[in-house]
Structure 1
Amino acid sequence: MSAGGMLKALRLEVGKLRRKHYWLIAASTAGVCLGWCAMLMTLRASGSAQVRSAALQLSEFAQLMALLMPIVTAVLASRIVSVDAEERMGQLFTALGQRPMTRYRAKLMIVFLTVIAMETAVLVMLSVMASSIGLTMTDTYWNALGPMVVELVCSTLAICTVQLTLSTCLDKQAIGLGAAAIGGFITSGLPFAHLGGLSWLLPWGIVPAATPIDGTDVSMASLRATGEVTLASHPWLLAGLAVLAAAVWSAAAYAVIVYKENHR
């Protein structure tokens, strides 16, 4: 598909979202995440020297994203898909010559960029404010930041593709929302049960499985002893595995859509 065709499809999808609360949901979620992380940073900066670790704050940010973003992505995917069911808008655009796969790819790009924008806003705030309010910016933080960004992008892509596919294929949107809520809750808790490796088995578990900072009791013991959390032995290897996992889940979800459209 040409770049011009994709831009046209994106403009059409954005136009459909007027007065559909999509952007309000995204902005509200971003505001909650920013406020929550800012509060945690302020509390951490006012605590003892041992807990003023920007790397620990980065780990808590990853945990928040692992728990919250699957649900938010599912809501946004459901909203952007359900728009086509209203007044048979999807059927209208298909009759006018727009291919369903073009529409799907445009929706995927919008949801993906929306979630990435929310995560980026929080991550930028963390990086900019941390040193100014008294958090300790150590080598552990900077060594974890690059792999963390890669893993967040990969996780977002996988979750967006899976949730958009669920919303597209299932008439009952509650199923996709429930899957995201349960999947995010389970995978974000597995590392604390020393079962973090199992998080790789679900698309919502890429961040908990690949996080470069150990946020469990092992890292907390290190924090109390040395004033710093524990960095994974090979953080970039985990980032590479995150890329692979995201590719597998995204390809599988996309294949389901292709099969559905080919057998319509």
Structure 2
Amino acid sequence: MKDTSLEFYDGLADTYHLIFKNWHETVQWQGAFFDKFIRSLYAEEQEGPIHILDASCGIGTQALGLAQHDFTVTATDISPKSIERAKKEADKLGVHVHFGVADFRSLEQDISGQFDVVLSADNAIPHLLTDEDLREACRNLYAKLGNKGLLVLSIRDYDDIIQNKQRATVPRVMDKGKRIVFQVWDWAEGGNHYITNQFIMQEIDGSWRTEVSSTSYRALLRTELSAILEEAGFADIRWHMPSESGFYQPIVTARKS
């Protein structure tokens, strides 16, 4: 199955915020959530701000919120157009974030320095469709962490989804019925890969307009990701389920040993 994430996120850069009921409120909520979550796990005494790399920042949903807390934020993404949008949003909010274009699989060469925390949220890691790509990404994530640094990843609950191979998400109707957002999933035969078709429908000046963007994912099980993280050298691998964390996806954390 073809890696389609670059094209997908470049194409959505101008309209990605429409996936959310209120993207600016989501930025604030996720910033507050990850501020509390990371500090609850950050065992080392930290003088001054925590240095964090958001390795799949998109248009800035997590990075911008964390920059409003006591974090020094570097944010990268595979999509140049998403990075340009994120820069504009950072300027609007008056926050400082160091942005760059980078792939999970080449972070070590693309981004200088090491970080206290490396973050990738909102199901970005499952864009890596093969074990080889996952291994390369995890090696690079490990390399970007300082001693005893903390890795934080969130993905969909594929252990549950794979049981019945979910075909679509429930449509969300927003803006008093003038915006509808949903996904249709096309599963590959005999495998744990699928294509997400992201629909954004809007009524504008009395006419409906539909934008459809497609990308590939791997239905990545928790045991599979845990094994590859351990292989990369990570220790203290823990899964935090939504019922425990309050986040909308399972979160895995791990330490650089």
| TM class by smaller structure | under 0.3
What is the TM-score when the length of structure 1 is the normalising length? 0.25
What is the TM-score when the length of structure 2 is the normalising length? 0.25
Which structure is richer in relative contact order (CA contacts within 8 A, separation 6 or more)? 1
> Which one has the largest radius of gyration?
1
Higher relative helix content: 1
